[in-house]
Amino acid sequence: MSVRTNNRRTRDGETYEPENRHNISFNYTDSFTHTVTLNTENYNSWKTNMLYLLDINNLVDYVITEKVKKIKRNKINNPEDYIIDKLDPSVAYHKSTKLPDIKNDNTTKWIILNSLNEETRKIIENRGKTAYEVWKILENSFTKGKEQLKTELKEKLEKLKFDTSVDINIFISYIENIFDELELLDHNIPDEAKVGFLNRSLPENLRWINVFQFRDNWKNCITYITKVIPDIIYSYRKENRLLKINSDNKEVLAATIRNHKKRNGKCYICKKFGHFAYV
């Protein structure tokens, strides 16, 4: 579904757009066909996708900065200095707030809300007054603690196993993504430890390549294994194909011999050639 918001005005027969008003055009089919139940496992993925969507529509500032502020009406001392929110009369904007910013903030919040299922929406109902506040509520609700994230990432590294059907470059990229995430959490991993994680992830028939010769230089280790492992795997596969061919040939030969013996064999019951008696 395509949604397009437009704030064009006409003055003296000519069409114009108010200053600072974003002309927003976006496709967001998932908002209407599939909503998300957020949890600590999928929040980061949802957050990344949402930031991309908001950024390409010039709306990302409304969640990463507090561009629009609201205040409860019962806390207002000078009502003439505020604009009542049409959608929620219990709150108001300061009169210095620009109309395009109000509309963009509402559009941003609408996009976020329409990506969430009913269960997740309950978390922010009647709580988030601006897109920024909604964003912060979701962030605080579904972001794991730093220590928990560190533990989970380390467990991933411990459980890593290289599947030879997967390109080694893709596997290395996956490992490095985990290292990068740990570094963002202020947990730097020395090169020797990185090489150790890699070695434990390799199957037994690949450990002879001795990655520990590069224990002090992770980059050189990567260069080495991305060069030699594909060649080794190719050799193993070629050898397995040859073994299978030889096995098939042996089976064909054995079947030929059995048939030959059968044709020339003599039945001990009827004393005729060409078959055997089976008891």
Give the pLDDT confidence of 155-198 residue by residue, as tens digits. 999 999 999 888 999 999 999 999 998 998 888 899 999 999 99
38 and 123 both lie in a single domain: yes
Residue 11, domain member (yes or no): yes
154 and 108 both lie in a single domain: no
Is a pLDDT exceeding 90 seen at residue 278?
A: no
44 and 76 both lie in a single domain: yes
Number of domains in the chain: 2
161 and 112 both lie in a single domain: no
138 and 152 both lie in a single domain: no
Residue 76, domain member (yes or no): yes
137 and 155 both lie in a single domain: no
Residue 109, domain member (yes or no): yes
Asked which of 142, 171, 194 is the last residue of a domain, the reply is: 142
122 and 225 both lie in a single domain: no
Contacts of 80 by beta carbon, 8 Å cutoff, 6+ apart: 95
Asked which of 110, 142, 174 is the last residue of a domain, the reply is: 142
122 and 152 both lie in a single domain: no
Residue 51, domain member (yes or no): yes
Residue 238, domain member (yes or no): no
Output the pLDDT for position 181.
Answer: 87
Q: Buried (b) or exposed (e) across 126-136, using 16+ Cβ within 10 A?
A: eebbbbbbbbe
- What backbone torsions phi and psi does residue 66 show, to the nearest 5 degrees? -90, 75
51 and 151 both lie in a single domain: no
Residue 77, domain member (yes or no): yes
91 and 107 both lie in a single domain: yes
Residue 20, domain member (yes or no): yes
Is a pLDDT exceeding 70 seen at residue 210?
A: yes
Local confidence band at 262 (pLDDT 50, 70, 90 cut-offs): low
125 and 190 both lie in a single domain: no
43 and 153 both lie in a single domain: no
Local confidence band at 264 (pLDDT 50, 70, 90 cut-offs): low
Residue 271, domain member (yes or no): no
Is a pLDDT exceeding 70 seen at residue 271?
A: no
Beta partners for residue 25, in sequence order: 4
Domain enclosing residue 183, as ranges: 146-230
Local confidence band at 256 (pLDDT 50, 70, 90 cut-offs): low
Asked which of 109, 142, 175 is the last residue of a domain, the reply is: 142
